[in-house]
């Protein structure tokens, strides 16, 4: 590996790949050049990496013998968080924190492809004070939700609240309950899914159950049983990436509408109920997963807090078709089905 001067403010690094194959480019550069994942992704997104003279994407993998050129800003200023006027549903707000009912489709923090249209950008636009504890580009973020998962999130406004909330999550003192439609019927309820989760060895965008993965636990109850699927109440006891979706797919009951961990989707259902399964799938615009309840003690006052978010409107038709009843309208569906009953 050699380095040569580029512009006065840049460092130009050239090297040849010796490994037979690599993981995706941004992660490989972060490991090889001692960069943060955010820095590596930013350099790629800003066309700072060339392979054989051509600009490449972050998802590119490398092969032995390929020549790589990386232009690294020698003194890279923090990326400015551009305000984005995106409507937000604020469930609770005080001087230390706020709780948001995040809509599906909203990315939580800036990343390649979504530098200025995220939840963080929306919070900046409304002038919300945010803690610095989340790291670069992630102010205030104590935990995250996938882009296409809706529901409750807590955001810290100052570092004291952030530190205490993060510690409470690590100590499993924050109760995070999700509602999901899953294919088929569980053999028992309640049940515990305790399987380690790791990055998929072939597809780095996916996670999987693997012996070498990080310990992960999801507690599951059946809230309502329908003909071809169930409404599940799921409580996270750990917070791995895609944990619920991976655990349910591994169990053989994937989340309805999940484009990544589908496990066959409606094709899993055969016989006279196949047509119903197809209708449910067509009525489900995204993964039917929703963060429905969040409970914790206020990080400053110690007051016990519980917040609930009913089944989202965009998944309302899927639930109506699955239940065969319009009485489960989104505005009160979870309450109607006694989802929030602490006895499961």
Domain end, chosen from 73, 104, 126, is at: 73
CATH of the domain at 97: 3.30.2350.10
One domain, residues 221 and 327? yes
What mean pLDDT is predicted for residues 287-303?
98
Please identify which residue in the block is written with the tokens 């510690």. 167
- Say if residue 3's pLDDT is above 50: no
Nearest CA among 282, 261, 280 for reference residue 322: 280
**Which residues have a Cβ under 8 Å from the Cβ of 48 and sit 6 or more positions away?**
70, 71, 72
Domain end, chosen from 170, 191, 215, is at: 170
One domain, residues 262 and 296? yes
Task: Let me know if residue 113 belongs to a domain.
Answer: yes
One domain, residues 243 and 139? no
Q: What is the spatial distance between Cα 338 and Cα 344, in angstroms, rounded to a whole number?
A: 9
The percentage of residues in the chain with a pLDDT greater than 90, rounded to a whole number, is 62
One domain, residues 312 and 183? yes
Write out the residue range of the structural domain in which residue 146 sits.
90-170
What mean pLDDT is predicted for residues 235-261?
95
- Residue 45 has a pLDDT of 86
The Cα angle at residue 140 between residues 196 and 83, in degrees rounded to 5: 120
**Which residues have a Cβ under 8 Å from the Cβ of 170 and sit 6 or more positions away?**
none
* Mean pLDDT of all residues belonging to the chain: 89
Please identify which residue in the block is written with the tokens 């709780």. 99
* Residue 207 β-bridge partners: 199
Task: Let me know if residue 68 belongs to a domain.
Answer: yes
One domain, residues 205 and 291? yes
One domain, residues 162 and 94? yes
Q: What is the spatial distance between Cα 317 and Cα 321, in angstroms, rounded to a whole number?
A: 6
* Exposure of 166 in the CB half-sphere (CA atoms within 13 A): 17
What are the structure tokens assigned to 318, written together? 């899927």
One domain, residues 278 and 155? no
Task: Let me know if residue 84 belongs to a domain.
Answer: no
What mean pLDDT is predicted for residues 150-157?
98
What mean pLDDT is predicted for residues 121-140?
87
Nearest CA among 20, 52, 23, 17 for reference residue 40: 23
What mean pLDDT is predicted for residues 227-251?
95
What band does 78 get if pLDDT is binned at 50, 70 and 90? very low
Nearest CA among 185, 132, 124, 189 for reference residue 156: 132
- 158-206 confidence digits (pLDDT tens): 999 999 999 999 899 999 999 999 999 999 999 999 999 998 888 877 8
Active-site pick, 26, 101, 146, 258: 146
Length of the chain: 344
CATH of the domain at 12: 3.10.290.10
One domain, residues 304 and 187? yes
3-state class (DSSP) for residue 245: helix
**How distant is the alpha carbon of residue 276 from its chain centre?**
29
Task: Let me know if residue 85 belongs to a domain.
Answer: no
- Say if residue 5's pLDDT is above 60: no
Domain end, chosen from 19, 41, 73, is at: 73
**What is the spatial order of strands in the sheet that 10-16 belongs to?**
2-5, 10-16, 67-73, 49-51, 54-55
- Give a three-class secondary structure readout of 55-114: ECCCCCCCECCCEEEEEEECCCCCCCCCCCCCCCCEEEECCCEEEEEECCCCCCCCECCE
Q: What is the spatial distance between Cα 202 and Cα 71, in angstroms, rounded to a whole number?
A: 28
What band does 6 get if pLDDT is binned at 50, 70 and 90? very low
Q: What is the spatial distance between Cα 187 and Cα 169, in angstroms, rounded to a whole number?
A: 30
One domain, residues 159 and 202? no
Q: What is the spatial distance between Cα 177 and Cα 234, in angstroms, rounded to a whole number?
A: 6
- Say if residue 220's pLDDT is above 80: yes
Cis peptide before 261 (omega within 30 of 0): no
Residue 187 bears catalytic tag: no
One domain, residues 138 and 67? no
Task: Let me know if residue 211 belongs to a domain.
Answer: yes
- 322-332 confidence digits (pLDDT tens): 999 877 777 89
- Residue 248 has a pLDDT of 97
- Say if residue 56's pLDDT is above 50: yes
Q: What is the spatial distance between Cα 79 and Cα 76, in angstroms, rounded to a whole number?
A: 8
Task: Let me know if residue 237 belongs to a domain.
Answer: yes
Alpha-helical segments (H) within the chain: 25-33, 37-45, 119-125, 159-170, 243-251, 274-282, 316-323, 333-336
Which pTM was predicted? Answer: 0.78
What band does 209 get if pLDDT is binned at 50, 70 and 90? very high
One domain, residues 96 and 205? no
One domain, residues 124 and 230? no
* Residue of 257 and 199 predicted with greater confidence: 257
- Residue 19 has a pLDDT of 74
Task: Let me know if residue 83 belongs to a domain.
Answer: no
What are the structure tokens assigned to 61, written together? 């993998």
- Say if residue 7's pLDDT is above 70: no
What band does 94 get if pLDDT is binned at 50, 70 and 90? very high
- Residue 14 has a pLDDT of 84
- Say if residue 119's pLDDT is above 70: yes
Task: Let me know if residue 36 belongs to a domain.
Answer: yes
When divided into structural domains, the chain yields a total of 3
- Residue 111 has a pLDDT of 76
- Say if residue 79's pLDDT is above 60: no
């Amino acid at each position: 590996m050699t380095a040569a001067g580029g512009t006065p403010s840049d460092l130009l690094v050239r090297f040849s790949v010796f490994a037979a194959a690599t993981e995706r480019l941004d992660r490989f550069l972060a490991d090889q050049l001692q960069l943060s994942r955010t820095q590596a992704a930013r350099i790629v997104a800003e066309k700072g990496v060339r392979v054989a003279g051509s600009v490449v994407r972050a998802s590119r993998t490398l092969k032995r013998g390929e020549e790589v050129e990386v232009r690294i800003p020698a003194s890279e200023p923090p990326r400015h968080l551009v305000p984005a006027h995106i409507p937000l549903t604020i469930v609770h707000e005080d001087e230390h924190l706020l709780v948001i009912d995040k809509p599906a489709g909203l990315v939580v923090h800036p990343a390649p492809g979504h530098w200025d249209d995220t939840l963080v950008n929306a919070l900046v636009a409304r002038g919300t004070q945010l803690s610095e504890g989340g790291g670069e580009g992630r102010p205030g973020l104590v935990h995250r939700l996938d882009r296409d998962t809706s529901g409750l999130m807590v955001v810290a406004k100052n570092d004291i609240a952030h530190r205490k909330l993060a510690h409470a999550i690590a100590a499993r003192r924050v109760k995070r309950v999700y509602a999901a439609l899953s294919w088929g019927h569980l053999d028992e309820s309640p049940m515990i899914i305790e399987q380690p989760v790791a990055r998929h060895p072939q597809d780095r965008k996916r996670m999987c159950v693997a012996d070498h993965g990080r310990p992960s636990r999801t507690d599951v109850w059946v809230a309502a049983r329908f003909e071809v699927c169930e409404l599940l109440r799921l409580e996270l006891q750990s917070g791995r990436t895609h944990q619920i979706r991976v655990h349910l797919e591994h169990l053989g009951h994937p989340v309805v509408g999940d484009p990544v961990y589908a496990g066959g989707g409606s094709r899993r259902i055969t016989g006279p109920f196949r047509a119903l399964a197809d209708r449910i799938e067509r009525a489900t615009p995204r993964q039917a997963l929703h963060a429905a309840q969040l409970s914790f003690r206020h990080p400053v006052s110690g007051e016990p807090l519980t917040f609930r978010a009913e089944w989202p409107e965009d998944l309302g038709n899927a639930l109506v078709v699955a239940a065969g009843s319009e009485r489960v309208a989104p505005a009160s569906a979870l309450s109607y089905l006694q989802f929030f009953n602490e006895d499961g």
